[in-house]
């Protein structure tokens, strides 16, 4: 970074400090926001006004700090210096697109492809997870000649027209389009069955439904971490069995790694927890640590077949030199600090602490998740497993008052979602566990 850049970043911080004077209040800002910002909902009854971040910490305009146990995008840490410098330096030098030769773009594609098992070695760069899934579906439809998709109930894959239709959490079941078959996610604690095989059988039914309706199966699209279903661990051979069935029906298997990818589950890719290799992988969120970088990775054979059918595919901003520099810096940071392994290690430590809380507080019915995505399924009664939706709704606000940010998930909104940046050590897990202990002690009874 040049001195000029340093000064400019310094000026930006100085500008933010003007809010510390109390010139503008939270209330005023909420009012101004509501006047002109469409379609964006604030977190917390008492929303936080964040002005800067560092590592796993966020700071509000009064310089109160919050431990971020929610945000998966800044996975190598808020304002990670390696990523900030890479973006600043490349922005100052050149920012065009992928249709000129540029070494950083190629270096990034090589490095990214190098993190995948064979035969996944061809990269497309786009700007959002939605676009990645949209392109993946376009490829799957083109290559298979079929149109249907199998997705999970309660899924979220993005916000475009097609991908909204594949995001079953965004509409009611009766509005499911004919080209979509939604199957129940394999939740052995809360689902309709405690038998893993029944969730695989549901994929047989979905295939039959799509074949009967003439849509056929273009793809099975699944997030291996089941983020919008509360962060589940798939049982036994769930994924290998589903992949086999989908391929036998002529479909492709798409792993949506927008949430689990880049080390969150303790492995670089979520699917690596399950001994499968997808046909297409979609990427986003942590890929640029906040810079809009997303992608699709597939095999040369599939990429060639798509190119033959669709010779003109272009994305103006996807994989431009600044995006590539940001993405490369994220990969280097993950590697240098062994963050996937750290996520596994800290995730296990956190899981043990959460299990101790579950021993203590009756309302914690189940603890589940992988790596640094851990979740608490809250119940009103451990026998009936009735979801404790209204209790769960209070907890993130109470945690926010303790200076710890967490979220909610799951079909009934009763699952506390803990998904911090990966630069989250045992010392941070201890702060989180203490705050949870404090909050549960005030709102629930001990076992």
**What CA–CA distance (Å, rounded) separates 347 from 336?**
19
Task: Name the minimum Å distance from CB 217 to ligand PLP.
Answer: 20
The CA-CA-CA angle for residues 282, 329, 286, to 5°, reads 35
**What CA–CA distance (Å, rounded) separates 34 from 20?**
22
Task: Name the minimum Å distance from CB 257 to ligand PLP.
Answer: 8
| Count of residues making up the chain | 447
* Beta carbon nearer to ligand PLP, 134 or 333: 134
Task: Name the minimum Å distance from CB 192 to ligand PLP.
Answer: 23
Measured from each CB, the residue nearest to ligand PLP is: 129
* Beta carbon nearer to ligand PLP, 141 or 157: 157
Binding site for ligand PLP (CB under 6 A): 128-130, 133, 156-159, 223, 227, 256, 258-259, 284
The CA-CA-CA angle for residues 289, 294, 296, to 5°, reads 140
* Beta carbon nearer to ligand PLP, 256 or 377: 256
* Beta carbon nearer to ligand PLP, 258 or 344: 258
* Beta carbon nearer to ligand PLP, 256 or 362: 256
Q: Which segments of 224-272 are extended strands (E)?
A: 252-256
Convert 278-289 to b/e letters by CB count within 10 Å (16 or more is b): bbbbbbbbbbbb
* Beta carbon nearer to ligand PLP, 343 or 388: 343
Q: What's the 3-state SS for 349-372?
A: HHHHHHHHHHHHECCEEEEEEECC
Give Dmax over CA atoms of the chain in angstroms: 66
How buried is 79 (Cβ within 10 angstroms: 0-12 exposed, 13-18 middle, 19+ buried)?
middle
């Amino acid at each position: 970074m040049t001195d000029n850049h340093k000064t400019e970043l310094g000026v930006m911080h100085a500008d933010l400090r003007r809010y510390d004077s109390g010139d503008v209040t939270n209330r005023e800002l909420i009012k101004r926001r509501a006047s002109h910002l469409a379609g964006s909902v604030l977190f917390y009854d008492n929303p936080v006004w964040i002005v800067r971040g560092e590592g796993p910490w966020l700071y509000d305009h009064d310089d109160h700090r919050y431990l971020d146990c929610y945000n998966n995008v800044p996975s190598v840490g808020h304002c990670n210096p390696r990523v900030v410098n890479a973006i600043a330096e490349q922005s100052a030098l050149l920012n065009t697109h992928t249709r000129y030769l540029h070494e950083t773009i190629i270096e990034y594609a090589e490095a990214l492809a190098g993190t995948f098992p064979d035969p996944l070695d061809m990269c497309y760069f786009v700007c959002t997870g939605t676009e990645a899934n949209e392109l993946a579906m376009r490829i799957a439809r083109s290559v298979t000649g079929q149109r249907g998709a199998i997705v999970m109930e309660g899924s979220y894959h993005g916000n475009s027209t097609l991908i909204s239709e594949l995001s079953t959490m965004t509409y009611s079941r009766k509005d499911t389009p004919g080209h979509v078959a939604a199957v129940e996610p394999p939740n052995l604690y809360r689902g309709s069955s405690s038998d893993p095989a029944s969730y695989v059988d549901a994929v047989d039914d979905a295939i039959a439904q799509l074949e009967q309706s003439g849509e056929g199966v273009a793809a099975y699209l699944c997030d291996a971490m089941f983020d919008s279903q509360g962060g589940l661990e798939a049982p036994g051979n769930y994924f290998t069995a589903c992949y086999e069935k989908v391929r036998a029906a002529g479909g492709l298997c798409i792993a949506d790694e927008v949430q689990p990818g880049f080390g969150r589950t303790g492995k670089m890719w979520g699917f690596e927890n399950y001994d499968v290799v997808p046909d297409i992988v979609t990427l986003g969120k942590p890929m640029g640590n906040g810079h809009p970088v997303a992608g699709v990775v597939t095999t040369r054979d599939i990429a060639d077949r798509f190119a033959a059918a669709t010779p003109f595919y272009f994305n103006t901003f996807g994989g431009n030199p600044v995006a590539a520099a940001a993405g490369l810096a994220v990969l280097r940071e993950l590697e240098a600090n062994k963050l996937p392994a750290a996520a596994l290690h800290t995730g296990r430590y956190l899981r043990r602490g959460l299990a101790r809380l579950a021993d203590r507080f009756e309302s914690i019915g189940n603890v589940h998740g992988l790596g640094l995505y851990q979740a608490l399924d809250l119940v009103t009664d451990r026998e009936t497993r009735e979801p404790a939706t209204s209790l769960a709704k209070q907890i993130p606000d109470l945690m926010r008052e303790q200076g710890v940010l967490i979220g909610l998930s799951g079909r009934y909104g009763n699952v506390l979602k803990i998904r911090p940046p990966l630069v989250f050590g045992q010392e941070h897990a201890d702060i989180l566990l203490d705050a949870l202990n404090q909050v549960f002690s005030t709102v629930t009874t001990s076992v």
